[in-house]
Structure 1
Amino acid sequence: MSIEENLVDMQSVSFQAALLYTSSKGERRIRVHTMCLPVVNSLSDIFAGADVQAITGLLASMAVDRSVTSSLSDARDAMTNASIDSLTSYRTSVLTIQQPGLLAPACLRLFPLYILALLKQKAFRTGTSTRLDDRVFAMCQLKYQPLAYVMLMIHPALYRVDDLTDEGALNISERAIPQPRVQQLSVEKLSREGAFLMDAGSVIYLWIGRNCNPDFLTQVLGVPDYAAVPQNMNLLPELDTAESQRTRAFVGWLREQRPFFPILHVIRDESPLKASFMQNMIEDRTESALSYYEFLLHVQQQVSK
């Protein structure tokens, strides 16, 4: 795309794309997408209107292409540099008073976190054994999934579900859908006395703490104790308890928001899938990757140079 006209006197510009395709019934159709955006003359306005999720999704797609055409190392460096360059530009071109610390516009405050999450994805991670098939599959997901599912893959949503209540619940089709608070993706937020559900887009994990509340085990999972939780449990039993109905309503509501059916994995500490669950704790340090705090320090050092 190139801009051929002078935009100084324009208040808005329009982008239009047309897709010619054949429907499942053999009909030839044209789908037209049009977007109208305002024209601004200051960087502060651009930063104020930045969509951090759209930027992250675009960078993920570009990083996949760069991994194929260049190298995985180049793709990782490009993503890190994108975070550093954007915050450096904000510091030098927008801020009128230089202050210590890492400063970012409100809409980009999560940008370093999302970049770190991308670096820890199977598609781009290093230092951890990753099968080629798994890496390529992750790359395809990042490149071709809708943005909402890409973001859940990059930064899953973590909820504590052993204490669900109807307080603040959504009422949909005469159903009460609990709305638990989203937790940080850190092991510090886990508790052996609780049960935590992680929505990672195409898969949902339900991690059961070793000392989980016995009432949750019996009234939601239908087992007498922790040792009785099956190793390969993928379905929540339909029990005639309020706790079971709340948990199943919440899981069902998450699934209804996407056109595919995310599989549910109930996992214990001894489960082989625990590693997949823990790898999504992106704010924690691993043997081959920085913690979120350490990554922020690295970005701050580069921005302050």
Structure 2
Amino acid sequence: MTERSLKDIRGAMTEKTVDVLAGYRKNFSGSHPPGQLVLPENLKEFGMHMLGVLKSRAFKGGHEYSDRRTHDMRMIKSMGAMELSLYLYPRIIAIHNLGEQDGFPGENGHLVMPPAVRASFSRIEEGGVYLVDNGQICLLWIHSHVSPNLLVDLFGEPYTTLQSLDPTNTKLPVLETHLNAQVRNIVQYLSTIRGSKALTVQLARQGLDGAEYEFARLLVEDRNNEAQSYVDWLVHVHRHIQLEARASP
């Protein structure tokens, strides 16, 4: 990054992604039709993670403060595989769709975690509440049409509208409602797998809080940060794999 432009770096990473997948196709997937995109079973998420790298603050297009780019660059270089994987593709949990046992110990004594939602606004439901964690920040994004009953279950009696919530509050209150206990248990579990990093929950109320921009940035599968959506990215990579296959003897 100190020697080349970000545009050149992003182009080089894209080329490397194409080289890896084209090499796999050439050597291991010759039986598949030429027009089919073939991904190695153990590298199904490779393209997604590479897109996450391109959209990270270290490499993304558009305006970004140099100190934040530098911080991201140093942080990415220091991360292990599991931490980096979560950072590049965040865990998103639909709070409004939690099952009865989610957030409580199961038969084996381990906490039952709900299934994650894909990082795209097309998967976000109207009136929903989502917990978004990338290992560094944790957002509680709340849709503008959220049910007052859900807010009361989560935050307590006085809170029936988005406007009544305090955006500077970083902890859930301890209530006796089932939903509140579920979310507090899930947040506690997420905090235990962060190592030394503390976990604070930041509110991102739709149409009200600046943290909503951070929520949009974490939706890796969408078109943002001057980068393609995941579908467009796969189409772009696949096209170049085909061109490379035709060019090779």
Provide the TM-score with structure 2 as the length reference: 0.88
Partner residue, 2:234: 296
Correspondence for 2:205 among 244, 249, 268 = 268
2: CA distance, partners of 1:207 / 1:169: 18
Q: Identity, % of aligned pairs?
A: 24
**Deviations 1:242-268 (CA, angstroms, capped at 9, x unpaired):** 111111000100101122212210110
**What's the RMSD between the two structures over aligned residues?**
2.1
2: CA distance, partners of 1:182 / 1:220: 20
Task: Look at both structures and tell me which one has the larger radius of gyration over its CA atoms.
Answer: 1
AA at the equivalent of 1:108: L
Partner residue, 1:14: none
Counterpart contact for 1:233–1:265, Cα < 8 Å: yes
Correspondence for 1:101 among 31, 36, 43 = 36
Partner residue, 2:52: 117
Counterpart contact for 1:283–1:292, Cα < 8 Å: yes
1: CA distance, partners of 2:163 / 2:85: 34
How much has 1:116 moved relative to structure 2? 0.9
How much has 1:178 moved relative to structure 2? 4.2
**Deviations 1:141-161 (CA, angstroms, capped at 9, x unpaired):** 101123222211111111101
**Deviations 1:114-172 (CA, angstroms, capped at 9, x unpaired):** 1111111110001x211111111111110112322221111111110123233366628
Aligned length: 238
AA at the equivalent of 2:179: E
Unaligned runs of 5+ in 1: 1-66
AA at the equivalent of 1:237: P
Matches within 5 A, 1:185-200: 185-200=119-134
2: CA distance, partners of 1:153 / 1:122: 11
2: CA distance, partners of 1:154 / 1:122: 10
Q: Does 1:254 align with 2:162?
A: no
Report the structure, 1 or 2, having the larger strand content.
1
Partner residue, 1:281: 219
- Deviates further, 270-279 or 233-242: 233-242
Q: Does 1:216 align with 2:150?
A: yes
Matches within 5 A, 1:1-305: 67-99=1-33, 100-126=35-61, 128-167=62-101, 171=105, 177-222=111-156, 223-259=159-195, 260-269=197-206, 270-286=208-224, 288-305=226-243
How much has 1:228 moved relative to structure 2? 0.9
Provide runs of 4+ in structure 1 moved above 6 Å.
none
AA at the equivalent of 2:173: P
2: CA distance, partners of 1:291 / 1:197: 22
**Deviations 1:83-132 (CA, angstroms, capped at 9, x unpaired):** 10011111112223241221111111211111111111110001x21111
Unaligned runs of 5+ in 2: 244-249
